[in-house]
Amino acid sequence: MRKFSVILLILLVCAAIICGCTVPSSSSPKAAAPSSQPAVQSTVQQPATPASNGIVKKVEIIQSSFDPDIVSISAGTTVVWTNKDTTFNHRVVHLPELPSDKELFHSELLSYGDTFSYTFNQPGRYRYSDPQHGSGRYSLVIVT
């Protein structure tokens, strides 16, 4: 019986090593510095955008609409959308005017309290919506 316990212990140690359950050394290329951020982050950001002018305009997602529906800003302003809907998760998706235009922003699914931001650097009219809950409606950012 004792021999069986020793073999079982050796197998468990080997399985732990194979599964990667060991602590990586600081010289390992996969070792990461400890993070001061929580494991679950409540803010969702788009890929890196150029620096803003420091001005932030807030838009709330309430039920299936954006408040305010139309936002007028100057170039370099960052718009931050916050999901205030306790019932549904939402996305913020740019709707290009022409088929040849590229999509500029597309958030991940935003749970209640999550935010998404995008910095508008070029003047123009930018339509956006939540394709899951928009019912064909869209909101607008006007950049001067």
Residue 25 located in a structural domain: no
Terminal C-alpha separation, the chain: 80
Closest listed residue to residue 121, CA positions, set 97, 141, 92, 98:
141
Residue 49 located in a structural domain: no
The strand ranges marked E within 8-123 are: 56-62, 65-67, 70-73, 77-83, 93-95, 115-120
For residue 11, count other CB atoms closer than 10 A to its CB.
10
CATH number at residue 75: 2.60.40.420
For 66-111, how does the pLDDT look when each residue is reduced to its tens digit (9 = 90+)? Answer: 999 999 999 999 999 999 999 999 999 999 999 999 999 999 999 9
- Asked whether residue 119 carries a pLDDT value surpassing 80, the answer given is yes
Instruction: Enumerate the β-bridge partners of residue 93.
Output: 106, 129
What domain count does the chain have?
A: 1
In order of 4, 78, 109, the CA distances from 91 in angstroms are: 56, 17, 5
